[in-house]
Amino acid sequence: MSVIAITGTPGVGKTTIVELFSEGDFTILSVKDLAKQYGCEGDFDELTQSMDIDIHRLAEQFEPESLDGTIVDGHLSHLLDVDAIVMLRCNPSLLRERLVKRGYSETKITANVEWEMIAGTWSEILEFELDQPILELDTTNCDPNATYEKIIEWINDGHSQESIQTRIDWLAE
């Protein structure tokens, strides 16, 4: 086992999938809780209606060595020192619907839908030259249990690169 980041735009299904991991032999950590634990919380951002996190400081302080068998949940989790990354994606139209149901402001909905549309998480992975194995999964029409099983299979295969599909490109559709 290893330390796995479950990342993706808000609304793609991270929490649902992580809840399935919590039923197994995995330790679950959230970026939000880690930021609080390590004193890396910033101010409350009125525009996004969320707490800012100093992810760079958190990444410097986070020590996963003794955390084998851990899932780190959060849309910034890929920026931490993890062994592998699971990136969940969702069609922007459905993502918009999910975020509306959450009661997000139109500004926050638009920002997150645009982030998903332009593959913002991939941009960060490329910008920071992250080289961990990455499994990208489309959760748009996927049953959470099936997604969970794909992730477990990938983990059990040692994060095999052969199982990685072509990158999802919503703009090409």
For 39-59, how does the pLDDT look when each residue is reduced to its tens digit (9 = 90+)?
A: 999 888 777 777 889 999 999
In this prediction the pTM is: 0.92
Residue 81's contacts (CB-CB under 8 Å, 6 or more residues apart) are 3, 59, 62, 63, 64
What confidence score (pLDDT) does residue 42 get?
87
Q: Would you place residue 163 in the very low, low, confident or very high pLDDT band (cuts 50, 70, 90)?
A: very low
Whole-angstrom distance, CA of residue 152 vs CA of residue 159: 10
* Residue 122: its H or E element: helix 120-127
Per domain, the residue ranges of the chain are: 3-159
- Comparison of pLDDT for 49 and 130, the residue scoring more: 130
What confidence score (pLDDT) does residue 67 get?
74
What residue type is 158 in one-letter code?
A: G
Mean pLDDT of the chain: 91
What confidence score (pLDDT) does residue 118 get?
95
CATH 3.40.50.300 fits 3-159, yes or no: yes
